Chains A and B, each alone.
Chain A
Amino acid sequence: MSGEPRPLYQRPLDFKRGRVELAHGAGGRATAQLVEELFLAAFDNPWLRTQNDAAAMPRPAGRLVMATDSHVVSPLFFPGGDIGSLSVHGTINDVAMAGGRPLYLAAGFILEEGFPLAELRRIVLSMAAAAKAAGVPIVTGDTKVVEQGKGDGVYITTTGVGVVPDGIVLDGSAAREGDAIFVSGSIGDHGVAIMSKRENLEFDTEILSDSAALHGLVETLLSACPRIRVLRDPTRGGLATTLNEIARQSGVGMMLEESAIPLKPAVAAACELLGLDPLYVANEGKLIAIVPAEDAALLHATLLAHPQGRDAALIGRVTRDPDHFVQMTTTLGGRRVVDWLTGDQLPRIC
C-alpha cells in the first residue's frame, strides 16, 4: 500500500444539523472522526498531527511557567467573544502575568450530549483563530461527552506553558510601600457584556467583552520596564478583589483614587442599573501593574503607547498598612475600604 491512508469513515460529520453524541467521547471511531474533522482541521499544527496522546517539544531556555484555567461561561457566545476565544485568552494571560512568553496550549473539552455540532464548530474555530492570532499553538487535547442534562453545552479547560526570560521576577508578594498602581484600561467591560445577554436580564448595550491576549503588552512593558514588581489580570472578583489579593500577599495596604479609575460610561450606567460596583466586575483583557515609584512615568508612557494600554491610568499607591486594607478616596472626597468580594454577584462569568 502507498499514499494517504484510506479514511476510516464514509460519511463526514454533519456540521449543519448534527449533534454531539455519547459516542463522540467514547474513544472509538466517532471520537477519532470528531478529532480529525474538527479539532485537527481547526488547530492544525505538527504536534497535533502526530495524533499521539501527548505532545513532545524541545526544552526552552529560562524558567518554565504553567497555568491552567477552566471555562464555564454562560452564555457561550457573548458580545465581543465566546467561550472558545476566552479559553485561549484566559490561560495565555495567566502565563503572561507571571512574566512568561506563552509557548503552547493544551485544551480539554467536556461536551454535553445533544449539543449542536454547528455551535461546537463555531467555538472551535474561534479558539483556533485566537490561538493563531496569539501565536500560541494548541498542541494536545482531550474530549469527553456527558449525558444530556449533565453539562451545559461546552466546558473548556486550557493549560498553558510559557518561559520566563532570565532577570524577570514577578510575584504577587513583591509590592512595596510607595509603589505606583496602574490599570491598563477601563474596568468591568467583560462582566457587563456577559450580563447584558443573561436570560431574564437582556438589555441593549454597545459594550463588548474586553477578552484579549495580553502577552504582547506584557512583553513590551517588561522590556521597557524590567523592574515591574507585580502583574495580574483582574478577572473574577474584579479590580477590587485582585488588589486585595496582592495587598495580602505583599503584606501592604493600598490607597486608590476613585476618579482616576477608567470606566466606560455605558459600563457605569449598566452597573448603576443593576446595582453592581464596577470595582468587582470581571475583566478579561486588562492588567494591573505595580512598579517602583521611580519607574511610574516610564511605565505609564509605555502603556499609553501600546494599543492595549491606551486608556491606562495611575490609580493609586501602595501604602504601609498592618491590616492590609485597600482604601479609596471616593469621587465625593470621602474615604472607604475597598474590600474583598463577598459572595458571588455574577456566577459563571468566565
Chain B
Amino acid sequence: MKYVDEFRDRELGRGLAAAIAREAVPGRRYQFMEFCGGHTHAISRYGVADLLPANVRMIHGPGCPVCVLPIGRIDLAIGLALERNVILCSYGDTMRVPASNGRSLLRAKAEGGDIRMVYSAADALRIARENPAREVVFLAIGFETTTPPTALVIREAQATGVGNFSVLSNHVLTPAAIVNILQSPEVRTLGTVPLDGFVGPAHVSSIIGTRPYEFFAEEFRKPVVIAGFEPLDVMQAILMLVRQVNEGRAEVENQFHRVVDRAGNQKAQALVAEVFELRREFEWRGLGTVPYSALAIRATFAAHDAERRFELQYQPVPDNKACDCGAILRGLKRPTDCRLFGGACTPETPMGSCMVSSEGACAAHYSYGRFRDRPQAPLAAEMA
C-alpha cells in the first residue's frame, strides 16, 4: 500500500536499528515514554522492541482516551441509557470499558439500554435528527484530536435547533497529563525510575502544534520528539531522543513534520475555544485527579451539555486496590509487576485502565508481547 508500506519497511528499520545501537552509549540507560496509545500500538504491533538495544526501553504512557476514562464517567453514561431512557451514542472502543457493578456499555445494552455504536460525532447528531421524540446523548471521549469534531456538532446542533441532542464531554488534554506524570513525586525524585524523554503525540500535535511541549522540555529538562504513528516514525524519533540525551539537550523536535508544525491547526483551536472551557480538575483512570486537564462545554451551549441538561452528579469510583495501573502509567512498574496481570486481569476481563483497550500498556503487552516474559523464547522457524 503506497504511502504506508514505506513506513514499515524492514530494510529501513534495520538501518535505524543499527544507528540506534551505534549511538546508544553502552552502560547508559535511555528510558523514553511514548505518551500516545497510537505509538504504543505501533511499537507492540510491529515488535519495535526487538529492534532496540537492551538499554533503550520504551515506557507506555497514558495517552489512550478509552483507558483513562474513569469508572464514574461510564457510570454516568450507563445511568443516562438505563434510567433516563436516552439514546446513548458511543465510539465502539468505549463499549467494553468496565464500569461499576460489573457493568459496561455493552452489558447495559444487553439489559435493554438503547446504546448505539457510532463512527463519528456527526453520526450521533444524525441519530438525534432522526429521533426527534427521544433524547440523544453523545458520549464524547478523546484527546485534542477528537475534540474539534465534537465542537463542530455542538455548534451545529445549536445553530440548527436540534433540541434533543446533547454531549457528555470527557475530552482531555495531553500537556496537562504529561506535566502530571513529570510532577509526581516518584518520577521527580532522583534515583527512582527516571524518564529520559518523550515520544510526543502525532495526531494531537497536528491540532495543538509543537509549541505546548516547549514549556515542559525546558521546565523539566526532558527532550520531546513529536513522531508519526508508523513504526519507522517511532524508531526515528527514538534515534533523535538518543542523540538529544547524548548531547545533553532537552528540546522539542519534530519528526512528524509531514503533518505537524509549531502553531498547529489554529482554525480547530478557535473552534474548540468557542465551544469548550477548561475544567478545574478531572479524574483520569490510573492517574487520579489532574488539575486543568479536561474540557467542559461552555454555558452558551448549555442546552447541549448532558451534564447540565440531566443535572448529572459525578461520583468517583476507585479502581481495584491491587491494580498497579497508576505506577505502570508513570513508568515505575512494568505490566508484569502487577499481580493481577494475565490472571484476574486480561483483555477479556480487564480490571484496570491499562488493560481496557489494545492501546493500553498492559493490553499491548498481553496481546502482542507476552512471549518476551519467558526465560528463553524459541527461535523463529525458518521459512521455506
Which chain A residues have a beta carbon within 8 Å of chain B's beta carbons?
A: 178, 180, 200-201, 253, 255, 257, 259-260, 265, 268-269, 272, 277, 293, 296-297, 314, 316-317, 319-321, 323, 325, 327, 329-337, 339, 342-343, 345
Contact = CB atoms under 8 A, between A and B. Distances in A.
B185 interface: no
B281 interface: no
Nearest to B52: A334
B46 interface: yes
Interface stretch (B210-218, B257-265, B318-326, B363-371): B363-371
Given A265-B1, A332-B51, A342-B347, A337 B381 contact: no
B13 interface: yes
Nearest to B45: A336
Interface in B3-61: 4-5, 8-10, 13-14, 44-51
Contacts of B370: 325, 337
Interface in B242-261: none
A267 to B, nearest CB: 10
Given A260-B383, A337-B369, A269 B46 contact: no
Query: Interface SS of chain A: helix, strand, loop or mixed?
Result: mixed
B384 A332 contact: no
B368 A316 contact: no
28 contacts: A180-B384, A255-B378, A255-B381, A268-B4, A314-B383, A319-B378, A323-B374, A325-B370, A327-B380, A329-B47, A330-B8, A332-B9, A332-B10, A332-B13, A332-B47, A332-B232, A333-B10, A333-B14, A333-B47, A334-B13, A334-B48, A334-B49, A334-B50, A336-B47, A337-B371, A339-B368, A342-B348, A343-B96
B383 A335 contact: no
B304 to A, nearest CB: 21
Given A320-B378, A333-B51, A334-B47, A325 B10 contact: no
Given A255-B380, A314-B384, A332 B231 contact: yes
Q: Which of B370, B374, B381 has the most CB of A within 10 A?
A: B381
A263 to B, nearest CB: 9
Q: Which of B4, B358, B366, B371 has the most CB of A within 10 A?
A: B371
A325 B51 contact: no
B367 A339 contact: yes
A260 B44 CA distance: 20
Contacts of A319: 378, 381
A333 B80 CA distance: 47
A250 B359 CA distance: 31
A317 B383 contact: yes
Contacts of B10: 259, 331-333
A330 B348 contact: no
B123 interface: yes
Contacts of A257: 383
Given A314-B384, A336-B46, A272 B13 contact: no
A277 B48 CA distance: 17
A337 B45 CA distance: 9
Interface in B240-292: none
Given A201-B119, A253-B378, A342-B347, A331 B367 contact: no
Contact of A337 (B51, B367, B380): B367
Nearest to B372: A335
A7 to B, nearest CB: 45
B44 A336 contact: yes
A334 B9 CA distance: 11
A297 B384 CA distance: 9
A135 to B, nearest CB: 35
Given A260-B383, A317-B383, A334 B46 contact: yes
A323 B376 CA distance: 12
A268 B8 CA distance: 13
Contacts of A255: 378, 380-381
A343 B9 CA distance: 30
A319 B118 CA distance: 41
Given A337-B371, A342-B348, 13 more contacts: A259-B10, A260-B383, A265-B1, A314-B383, A319-B378, A325-B370, A333-B50, A335-B371, A335-B377, A335-B380, A337-B370, A339-B366, A342-B358
Contact of A331 (B8, B119, B347, B348): B8
